[in-house]
Amino acid sequence: MAKYSLFWIFGGVGLFLVLIRVLLPQEWIGCFPFPLDTLLSYEVAAYLFFIASPVSLLYFSTKSRGLFNKKSARKFYEALVWEISKTTDDNVNAALGVLLSNFEDICKAIRDNGEKDGMRQSASAILDVILSDASVVKILTTKRLNALQYIFTTIEKHNITERDAGIGVPILVRNLFYDKDSFFYKHLDREGLALPLNIYETIFDSPTLLTNFNMFDWRTLEYSRRRDMSMGVFTEALSRSIKTYLTTGNVPPRHINDGLKYLSEISWDVSLKIKIWIWDMDMGSGYGVSPLF
C-alpha cells in the first residue's frame, strides 16, 4: 500500500544520500552543480528524508478514507472482521470509525459493479456480516445515533436492497425494536439526542428503504419474541410506514400487510395479558370471574 511504499522509499533515499556522502571523495562531489557540490547538502538531505520516512507512515495511519478500493477490498473486509472479533468496545468503535469513513465507497461498489465482481462481493459481505455482528449492532442501536442514521441514509442514497445487504439491515432494525435501550425507545421516552434526531423518520418515512427492505417480515422480526416488544414502538413504526405508503404509493403492500399481521399478534398478546391479570385479581378477591372474560 502507498503508506508502506513511501516509508521504504524515503528511507532508501536517505540511506543512498548517506552512502554518497561517505563513499564519494570531496573532489568528485565538488564537480556537481549547486547545491549538490558540498558534503553538508547531502547530510541535510539525508536527515530530512529519514524524518519524512516515519512521518509518512504516521500520516497515512491517521487517514481512514479511501481504504476500500479495488485492490484492498478483500483485505479491508478481513481486517474489519479481525478487529471486531476482539469484541471490546474500543476495538469495535475503531472498526466502526474506519467502516463509516469508507461506507460511501462500499455502497458505490455495490451499485456500480456486477454481482460477480470481487469488490462488490466484499462490499456486500461487509454489509451482511459486519452490520449483523452483535457487538456492532448493540453499539450502533444504543450509543451511535449519528452513525446509525448515516448508515441508513447512505444505503437509501445508493438504493441498496436486501439482496445486496443480506441480513445486516434487518438485524439492526430488529434490535431497535426489541432492545429497551435502543433509540426507538429513547425517542418515545424523549431522551437526549434521540428526540431531535428522529430515527423513525429516517427509516419509516423513506419509501426507498421501505421498498428495498421489508421492515416487518420474519427476517426482521422474531415472531417468537413478539411479547418482548413495546406496542408504542411498533405502532409508531407501522403508522409512519402506512403514511409513507399512502402518500407515495411506492411501498409494496405486502410489506405493510406483514406489519398489520404482526400488530394483530401483539394486540392478541396484550389482550391475553389483560385477561390473565383480571382473572388473577378476581380469583384473589374471591369473585371467580371466568378467564374467558
Q: Which class for 141: exposed (0-12), middle (13-18), buried (19 or more C-beta within 10 A)?
A: buried
Determine contact, residues 197/152, Cβ cutoff 8 Å: no
- Give the gyration radius of the chain's Cα atoms: 29
Determine the angle formed by the axes of helices 118-125 and 73-84, rounding to 10 degrees.
20
Alpha-carbon torsion (112, 140, 237, 254), positive or negative: positive
178-212: string of b/e by CB count within 10 Å (b at 16+)?
bbeebbbbbbeeeeeebeeebbbebbbbbbbbbbb
Region 24-33: mean pLDDT is 58
What does the alpha-carbon distance between residue 33 and residue 21 come to, in Å, rounded to a whole number?
15
Answer whether residue 63 shows pLDDT above 70: no
Give 53's pLDDT tier (boundaries 50, 70, 90).
low
Region 40-56: mean pLDDT is 63
Look at residue 268 in the predicted model and tell me its pLDDT: 65
Look at residue 65 in the predicted model and tell me its pLDDT: 64
Look at residue 116 in the predicted model and tell me its pLDDT: 82
What does the alpha-carbon distance between residue 194 and residue 185 come to, in Å, rounded to a whole number?
9
Other C-beta atoms closer than 10 Å to the C-beta of 41 total 16
* Lookup: cell for 61: 495511519
Look at residue 267 in the predicted model and tell me its pLDDT: 73
Answer whether residue 289 shows pLDDT above 50: no
pLDDT in tens, 80-123: 898 888 878 888 888 898 899 899 999 999 988 887 888 999 99
Alpha carbon of 157 to those of 19, 49, 63, 102, 119: distances in Å?
55, 44, 24, 15, 19
Look at residue 40 in the predicted model and tell me its pLDDT: 55
What does the alpha-carbon distance between residue 150 and residue 107 come to, in Å, rounded to a whole number?
12
pTM over 0.75: no
Q: In the chain, count H helices and then E strands.
A: 16, 0
What does the alpha-carbon distance between residue 65 and residue 3 come to, in Å, rounded to a whole number?
13
Region 1-9: mean pLDDT is 52
- Average pLDDT over all residues of the chain: 79
Look at residue 140 in the predicted model and tell me its pLDDT: 95
Q: Which of 50-59, 87-96, 202-211, 258-267 is least confident?
A: 50-59
Our measurement of the distance from residue 107's CA atom to the centroid of its chain's CA atoms, rounded to an integer in Å, reads 11
* Lookup: cell for 1: 500500500
Look at residue 62 in the predicted model and tell me its pLDDT: 46
What does the alpha-carbon distance between residue 43 and residue 49 come to, in Å, rounded to a whole number?
10
* Lookup: cell for 89: 468496545
| DSSP single-letter state for residue 227 | G
Determine contact, residues 251/241, Cβ cutoff 8 Å: yes
Answer whether residue 23 shows pLDDT above 70: no
Q: For the chain, what are the domain ranges?
A: 2-61, 131-285
Our measurement of the distance from residue 37's CA atom to the centroid of its chain's CA atoms, rounded to an integer in Å, reads 56
